[in-house]
Structure 1
Amino acid sequence: MDYTPAIAQVRGHVTAGHQLLGQSRLVVCMGSRLALTLFIAACPAVPMLVGAATTEAEGLRQLEQQQADVLICTDRLEQGNGGCLVAAAKRLRKPPSTLMVVTQPRRLMAIHQALQANCDGICLESQLGFGTVLNAIRTMQSGAVYIDSNLSRSYFQNLGGSGGGSPLAELTPREVDILQLMADGIENQAIAKQLHVSVETVKDHVRHILSKLNARGRLQAAVQGIRLGLVEWPESR
């Protein structure tokens, strides 16, 4: 692919991403040393990037030592994998926001582990440079979860979920509406405004949805809803 026409666009997205992260303490863990080196080189000389590693154990150690707010990792690492790193990061006393970049879409186990651990965002490496990471950061900062729109419905249908082949209990029509908005990446406050209900009411519905789908978080619930045919993949709407 010829990236030449997109050079200015890519640089703009990188600059905007740095501005969004602001004073966040960021740890990056990537399996490719070349990609990690380029990421480090692209970061401004500010305290934002506090740790960088290529293995799961080293990434987790940096998260703990640096008390990082944000983890960006790839599914493939030199040792371990991104899914396990996300899961370990979410068990820390101060769990960071987590964004995993999928380099090999057939690595289903790493992706499933990230979903199980309530990962805050998942992007495709093939879409890097075209705003996917920027969109993910914006969505995560709003309190919602992000799934790259280029991950197809059939791809997620191949993922094994902990909820089995059907919900534990039937969702109400309002719960299905809210699940669809969750799949669209919309956070609770915006859902409440759109449905003309209180944020607390939305939170109650979300808790019921997670329970009925046996999901640990919004991202896993959205994926489970798509797999079960309860809601549509956002790109198809």
Structure 2
Amino acid sequence: MPPNTNRGAATGAAGVALIDGVPLVREGLAAIVHRTPGLRWIGAAENPAVGMRLCERLRPDVVVVDAGLDPRGQLARMLSASHGVVLMVDDAHLSSQYVASAMTGGVRGVIRRAAQPGHLVQAIQAVYAGGRYLDATLAADLGASVVRPRRPVNLRQPLSQREHEVLRLIADGLENQTIANLLFVSVETIRTHVKNILRKLASRDRTHAVAMAYRSGVLTVEDDAMARSRAPERST
């Protein structure tokens, strides 16, 4: 499907692209985007290689990706560095491990492949606004393990408020210097917080710490979404 060439007429709207191997899905999302105010259609690709080229050339704001084309989450991780990513998950990938891994890897939205069109629009809008979206039905089917585990971990030394804030920013894929700038502290202070986080979560590195935090309930998708509505505090 050719990309939308009338981009100037839709200034301020969220540019949406799709990577999906099914022509009917590509046509369907294009129609949904065209009829939804605030969204503009960028284009679609039938495989990851073409999708990467499309995103590099046209820079959509949000990329919807079929999990069937990205079973290990590598494509989503690469795209999430510069785009908001919504992952459409089919039954073959319906597991808490896959969803948690995707979201810790940078994916902002996860939705069932069979979801209603309106829910997909909500996911795109939430991701474009800087938030996160987890399909409510999907969360229920997973026993809410990704959103709110039943028995959060009891740390011997709980994270401080500042450490928790730093951990959230690490989960967003930010490096130490960027986190320091956001929190108005030195990069050495952030390094100290990171060391404390790794020790308290018994983690070998930053990625492992984020995975452990989501798995244990120290971080939740709901908490992350609410955090994005608040600017970082200046206190240390």
Read off the aligned partner of 2:59 and give its amino acid letter. Q
Separation of aligned partners in 1, 2:126 and 2:206: 20
Change (3 A) 1:23 1:33: same
TM-score (norm 2): 0.55
Give distance in 2, aligned partners of 1:51 and 1:35: 12
Structure 2 counterparts to residues 119-134 of structure 1, below 5 A: 119-131=107-119, 133-134=121-122
Q: Which ranges of structure 1 fall in alignment gaps of 5 or more residues?
A: 1-19, 158-165, 183-198
Q: Distance in 2 between matches of 1:22 and 1:215?
A: 35
- 1:62 is displaced (CA, Å) by 0.6
CA distance in 2, matches of 1:55, 1:101: 14
Task: Give the secondary-structure state (helix, strand or coil) at the position aligned to 2:65.
Answer: strand
Aligned residue type for 2:20: M
One-letter amino acid of the structure 2 residue matched with residue 53 of structure 1 = A
Residues in 2 aligned to 1:173 and 1:149: alpha-carbon distance in whole angstroms: 30
Partners of 1:233 and 1:86 in 2: CA distance = 17
Question: 61, 64, 67: which one pairs with 1:75?
Answer: 67
Tell me: CA distance 1:138–1:209, structure 2 relative to 1, closer, same or farther (3 Å). farther
Look up the equivalent residue of 1:55 and give its one-letter code. N
Contact 2:62–2:84 (CA under 8 A) maintained in structure 1: yes
Specify the code of the residue in structure 1 equivalent to 2:62. Answer: V
> Is 2:54 the counterpart of 1:62?
yes
For 2:232, the equivalent position in structure 1 comes to none
Provide closer, same or farther for how the CA distance between residues 99 and 216 of structure 1 changes in structure 2, counting only shifts above 3 A: farther
Identity of paired residues, percent? Answer: 17
Structure 2: gaps of 5 or more residues: 1-9, 147-152, 170-181, 223-236
CA distance in 2, matches of 1:155, 1:32: 30
Q: Secondary structure at the match of 1:43?
A: helix
CA 1:67–1:110 in 2, change beyond 3 Å: closer, same or farther? same
Q: How does 1:75-114 map to 2 (within 5 A)?
A: 75-77=67-69, 80-81=70-71, 83-91=73-81, 95-104=82-91, 106=93, 111=99, 114=102
Question: Is the Cα contact below 8 Å between 1:82 and 1:100 reproduced in 2?
Answer: no
Rounded Cα–Cα distance in structure 2 between residues aligned with 1:126 and 1:178: 35
Count matched residues: 184
Local SS of the residue matching 1:25: strand
Aligned to 1:49: 41
Q: Give the partner amino acid of 1:140.
A: V
Q: Which residue of 1 aligns with 2:178?
A: none
Shift of 1:86: 1.1
Residues 113-170 of structure 1 show CA distances to partners (whole Å, capped at 9, x for unaligned) of 5334311221223433353541x3343244333322332454747xxxxxxxx89984
SS at match of 1:60: helix
Instruction: Give yes or no for contact 2:17–2:42 (8 Å, CA) kept in 1.
Output: yes
